[in-house]
Amino acid sequence: MAEFQTPIKTKNTVQNEKIMIPPSPFLNRLGYGTGVSVMQLVRSPRAGQIRSPWALKMLNKRVKPNKVYTERLKVEADLLQRMSHPNIVGFRAFSKTKILYLGMEACDVSLGDMIEKRVEDNCEPFTSRQILKVAADIASALHYLHTTMQILHGDMKSYNILVNGDFVICKLCDFGVTLPLDENGVFDKQSAGKAVYYGTEAWSAPEVIHGGEITDRTDIWPLGLTFWEMMALTAPHTQIEDETMDESVVCLDDSTESMDYFSEKYGTRPPVPANISEKQYADPLALFYCCTETLGSMRPSANHLAIAASDMLEQCLKTMN
């Protein structure tokens, strides 16, 4: 059983509380990423207190020890400890033992998992209200990252957005591949050293795929694709768009031809899903279009996007009432 300490603030002092971590088989798995797993820790109640569960990010034991993953976890822990924003997952603790654990605020579910669940249950796309809520909350989080922290998230996608309740609040998570920005919102190569844009190709902006200047607007493109995900209920660039394409390419998902077909779509704006009403989804589509402009300079800043989405959400709620 692993153990680490986390500072607990009292009125006058800061005390260290020892947290006992049971072996992985006794923890509920919440998710996973490259080289890491995210587990739920249900903490035992203390006298007169109800203690909320934590999400623990730890190195995946199935992956050989890797300094890259270890360093990412340390960087993320340092960032989370310095950040404070309602739409960014909260820091709880970080172990300094041989087995590294990052303790975070536990949220209900990732947006990516919600999308998968809707597909399994044959449900309708997310509503305009839900998409606008994601837009407002996550754009607000990105504005904080880009300006106050001067960093690029670097891996925006549905799986890095956490949702509580019926979209009561959305929070951004996973800060292991962030990149520094200068005062103009441009990737600061000098401060970054050997660090490069990591991301996930299907969500990556044109300047990442084809080469170009990386700026704060590079986070805006994949957020726009996340709005598309909530309408299409699939990851971007995973659909066959040309019905005349050779059937062998469609069937052999692991073939070179099939991979080439999909990879050629990376960095482009996917078409509006056929089942989406442009009238019913006018506001989410407007945000999707402006966020996926090919030129980064044509995309809105995170602040402008947050304001626009909040205004749209307010009008949407008034219409519903």
In the set 113, 121, 137, 155, the catalytic residue is: 155
Instruction: List beta partners, residue 15.
Output: 8
Q: Residue 27 burial by CB count (10 A; 0-12/13-18/19+): exposed, middle or buried?
A: middle
- CB-CB contact of 97 with 145 (8 Å): no
Give me the phi and psi of 113, to 5 degrees please: -70, -35
- CB-CB contact of 156 with 226 (8 Å): yes
Is residue 253 among the annotated active site residues?
no
What is the distance between the alpha carbons of residues 43 and 97, in angstroms, rounded to a whole number? Answer: 20
What is the distance between the alpha carbons of residues 223 and 235, in angstroms, rounded to a whole number? Answer: 12
Position of tokens 């170009």? 212
The dihedral over CA atoms of 203, 171, 37, 189, expressed in degrees to the nearest 10, equals 50
What is the distance between the alpha carbons of residues 215 and 219, in angstroms, rounded to a whole number? Answer: 8
Cα 122 versus chain centre, distance: 24
What is the distance between the alpha carbons of residues 59 and 102, in angstroms, rounded to a whole number? Answer: 10
Inter-helix orientation angle 111-120/220-232, to 10°? 20
- CB-CB contact of 231 with 111 (8 Å): no
What is the distance between the alpha carbons of residues 174 and 75, in angstroms, rounded to a whole number? Answer: 11
Residues marked active site are found at 155
